Amino acid sequence: MTGAKLVLMRHGQSLGNEANLFTGWNDLDLSANGHEEARRAGRLMRHHGFRFDAAHSSMLKRTIHTLHHCLDELDQSWLPEYRSWRLNERHYGALQGLNKDDTIARYGREQVQQWRRSFDVTPPAVKPDSPRHPGNDPRYASIPRCDLPCAESLAMTMKRVLPYWQDTLLPALRQGRSLLVVTHGTVMRALISHLDGLSPEETQTLEIPTGTPLVYEMDDTGNPEQSHYLEPSDIILGDTPPPF
C-alpha cells in the first residue's frame, strides 16, 4: 500500500499579511492577491494530476477559503473536509492585530524578533476574560478551556499540532490515502520540523511561502521519502487548466 501523498500548503496571502499585522487566531480573510494565489495553487495541482482522498484545514477562514478555491480548481469539491483548532496559526497573544512595524517601534527590533522567531519565547498573553481569548469564541466552545492558548511560542505550537499529526493525518497516510492540508506558516514549520527531523534552530528559520503546495511522497509506514514545492509554471497560470 504505497503512493500516498501529503500536500501541505500555507493559505494564500491574507488581509493580515497584506497589512503587515500579527494575525494569529484573528479571523481575517484572504486579500485579492490571496484569492488568486489559492486558485493558482489549485490549477497547479490539477496540472500535475493530484487526486486526494480528504482535505484538512484550520478553523480560520483564510485556510477554509484557500482550500475551497483549490478544490474548485481541482474539480474535487466533493471531498470530505475536516477542520481542527490544532491546525490554527500560532496564537500571538496580545500582539494579535498589531502592526509589526509599529510593534518594533514600541518594543525594539530585537524583542519583536524574539517573539516572532525564537523557539521557546512566548509573546505577551491575552487575559482569560478578554474577548480576544479563544475560550470566548463560540467556534471553540467544544474544546476544554484549559487547552486553548492565551499566547504561544513556536515550541508550544508544535506541541499543540503534533497530536493531530499522530491521531488523524498519519493513520490516513498509512492506509494509502492522499491528503491536502491547508494551514498556516507556523503550523507548517511544526509539521516540516517533525517530518524532516529538524533542530529547533533550523525550524525557527524556515520561510514558508503563501499559496505554494509542498508535496511529501510517503512510504507505506507514513514516513516521507522525498519532498518538494510545486513551482508555478506559465503553462498552468491561464484561466483554463488542462484536463486530468
- Residues marked as catalytic: 11, 89
Residue 56 annotated as lining a ligand binding site: no
Residue 238 annotated as lining a ligand binding site: no
Residue 100 annotated as lining a ligand binding site: yes
Residue 16 annotated as lining a ligand binding site: yes
Q: Are 94 and 151 in contact (CB under 8 A)?
A: yes
Q: Which three cell numbers stand for residue 2?
A: 504505497
Residue 24 annotated as lining a ligand binding site: yes
Residue 186 annotated as lining a ligand binding site: no
Residue 62 annotated as lining a ligand binding site: yes
Residue 83 annotated as lining a ligand binding site: no
Q: What is the DSSP string of 180-231?
A: EEEE-HHHHHHHHHHHHT--HHHHHT----TT--EEEEE-TTS-EEEEEEPP
Integer Cα distance of 101 and 119 in angstroms: 21
For 57, residues 6+ apart whose C-beta sits below 8 A from its C-beta are: 63, 64, 66, 67, 81, 82, 83, 87, 181, 182, 183
Residue 189 annotated as lining a ligand binding site: no
**Beta strands 54-57; 5-10: pairing state:** unpaired
Other CB atoms within a 10 A radius of the CB of residue 225 amount to 9
Residue 194 annotated as lining a ligand binding site: no
Integer Cα distance of 81 and 67 in angstroms: 9
Residue 92 annotated as lining a ligand binding site: yes
Residue 216 annotated as lining a ligand binding site: no
- Starting at the edge strand found earlier in the chain, the sheet holding 81-83 runs 81-83, 54-57, 179-183, 5-10, 214-218, 224-229
Task: Tell me the three state secondary structure of residue 30.
Answer: strand
Residue 202 annotated as lining a ligand binding site: no
Integer Cα distance of 23 and 33 in angstroms: 17
Q: Which residues are annotated as a binding site?
A: 10-17, 23-24, 62, 89-92, 100, 116-117
- Residue ranges for the known binding site for substrate are 10-17, 23-24, 62, 89-92, 100, 116-117
